[in-house]
């Protein structure tokens, strides 16, 4: 049973345009959500997070939106750059315990020059 779902295995956008990566979750106990970025042959790198008490968090070109009623979050990258090409993982956890992360399968983003 997949608790965190990223239904788009890949996404291709033009440099300068917006990239929107989507993530759905099923577990209502999740209260903290994270996005990780992964380049080949490297470990995942933390990108941005959002607590369930918020509906938006912004950090430079990256914004994460959370819709709790729909159990849906999205990552917006504006403007997209070729260096953003990577696999993006959505992850979720329940805070106050062991902080175990549940990951989606990832979306491979390609930003074309």
Give the interface with other proteins as residue ranges (CB under 8 A): 4, 6, 9, 32, 34, 36, 41-46, 49, 51, 53, 89, 95-106
Query: Which is nearer to other proteins, 52 or 79 (by Cβ)?
Result: 52
Which CA distances in Å does 73 have to 13, 98, 113?
A: 19, 23, 27
Instruction: Return the closest-CA partner of residue 91 out of 58, 50, 62.
Output: 50
Minimum distance, C-beta of residue 89 to other proteins, in the bound complex (Å): 6
Minimum distance, C-beta of residue 47 to other proteins, in the bound complex (Å): 9
Query: Which is nearer to other proteins, 9 or 82 (by Cβ)?
Result: 9
State how far the Cα of 18 lies from the Cα of 77, in Å rounded to an integer.
Answer: 6
Query: Which is nearer to other proteins, 17 or 95 (by Cβ)?
Result: 95
Query: Which is nearer to other proteins, 17 or 46 (by Cβ)?
Result: 46
State how far the Cα of 10 lies from the Cα of 63, in Å rounded to an integer.
Answer: 19
Minimum distance, C-beta of residue 79 to other proteins, in the bound complex (Å): 24
For residue 67, count other CB atoms closer than 10 A to its CB: 11
């Amino acid at each position: 049973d997949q608790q965190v779902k990223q239904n788009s295995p890949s996404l291709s956008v033009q440099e300068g345009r917006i990239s929107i990566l989507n993530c759905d979750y099923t577990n209502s106990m999740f209260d903290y959500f994270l996005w990780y970025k992964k380049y080949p042959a490297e470990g995942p790198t933390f990108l941005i997070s959002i607590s369930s008490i918020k509906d938006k968090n912004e950090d430079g070109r990256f914004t994460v939106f959370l819709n709790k009623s729909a159990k849906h979050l999205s990552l917006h990258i504006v403007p997209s750059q070729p260096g953003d090409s990577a696999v993006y993982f959505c992850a979720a956890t329940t805070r106050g315990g062991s902080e175990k992360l549940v990951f989606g399968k990832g979306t491979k983003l390609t930003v074309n020059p």
